[in-house]
Amino acid sequence: MEALGLNLGYVLVQIFNFAILFVVLRVWVYKPILGLLERRREAIAKGLEDARIAAEARENAEKEAEKLLNEARSKAAAETREVTQRAEQQAKEIRAAAEATASKAREAALAEVETERARILSDLRGQVAALAVAAAQKLIGEALDAKKQKALIDEFFSGVKAGKVTVLEGTEVSGAAAVVTSALPLNKEEQDAVQKQVLQSLGGKGEVTFRVDPNILGGLVVRVGDKVLDGSVSGQLGALRQSMR
């Protein structure tokens, strides 16, 4: 050792000092640093784990929020459709009720007008009858008794002679319904007589409807299906005009 220029005692002291320094460093520096690094690593790992958990929680929360939002949108859309459908249904019901009310009011008004028209025409029938009788008396130069006057007037307006509907005599008709048109409203007896004979022509079954059209002047027009039996005064005048051409 001395040949190498080394002092054994000095070397031993240095080794001892280094050992002490190593122990001191290991106990007081290295281990605390290692512990600090380990705790730091664990803290970082825990932070990363917490961050991952937080990210997953946020992602789950976003998915849940999106799901809830979609459900809310779907529910709102369904409620909107339901409300719209209810509103449309209510609107339809209101329109239907209004139309029904208007239709009833219109039908009532038409019925009232028709009743008033029938009343006026019935009153007119008497006036026309009086004028017709006066004209007939002047033409034939003699007075007609009341019974004969009534028979002539009734025959003119009702188209019924001796209890028979003249326009139906010698004809055959078939159908389920008939429409009888007169120039002026027929009284109850006249309607019964006309209805009885029309039903006999229809085979005893059917429906008879009465209408009033002053344009036919007198007599009756009976329509059964597509067949029209015209015994009106206007029809007879038209036929006369055709024959005179």
pLDDT in tens, 146-180: 566 666 666 776 677 776 777 777 777 778 889 99
Domain 145-244 is found in CATH 3.30.2320? yes
Helix (H, G, I), strand (E, B) or coil at 203: coil
Inform me whether the pLDDT recorded for 55 exceeds 70. yes
Across 81-237, the runs of DSSP E, i.e. the strands, are 160-161, 164-165, 177-182, 207-212, 220-224, 227-230
Looking at residue 236, its pLDDT comes to 75
| CA atoms of 235 and 61, how far apart (whole Å) | 92
Inform me whether the pLDDT recorded for 21 exceeds 70. yes
Place of tokens 């009284």: 187
8 Å CB contact between 179 and 223: yes
- CA dist list (Å): 117 to 66, 130, 180, 184, 226: 74, 20, 17, 10, 28
Both tokens assigned to 209? 């409807």
For residue range 213-227, list pLDDT tens digits in order.
Answer: 888 877 889 998 888
Mean pLDDT of 90-114: 82
**Predicted confidence band at 245 (pLDDT cuts at 50, 70, 90)?**
low
Inform me whether the pLDDT recorded for 7 exceeds 60. yes
Which burial class, exposed, middle or buried, applies to 199 when counting CB atoms under 10 A from its CB (0-12, 13-18, 19+)?
A: middle
Among 104-113, 132-141, 179-188, the minimum mean pLDDT is found in: 132-141
- Write down the mean pLDDT value for the chain: 77
Percent of the chain with pLDDT over 70: 76
Among 38-42, 57-61, 130-134, the minimum mean pLDDT is found in: 130-134
**Predicted confidence band at 127 (pLDDT cuts at 50, 70, 90)?**
low
Inform me whether the pLDDT recorded for 135 exceeds 60. no
Looking at residue 123, its pLDDT comes to 62
Q: Write the Ramachandran bin of 81: left for phi over 0, alpha for psi from -120 to 50, otherwise beta.
A: alpha
Looking at residue 179, its pLDDT comes to 92
Helix (H, G, I), strand (E, B) or coil at 245: coil
**What pTM was computed for the model?**
0.45
Inform me whether the pLDDT recorded for 132 exceeds 60. no
8 Å CB contact between 175 and 225: yes
Q: What is the dihedral of CA 108, 109, 110, 111, to 10 degrees?
A: 50
| Highest mean pLDDT out of 4-18, 112-126, 196-210 | 196-210
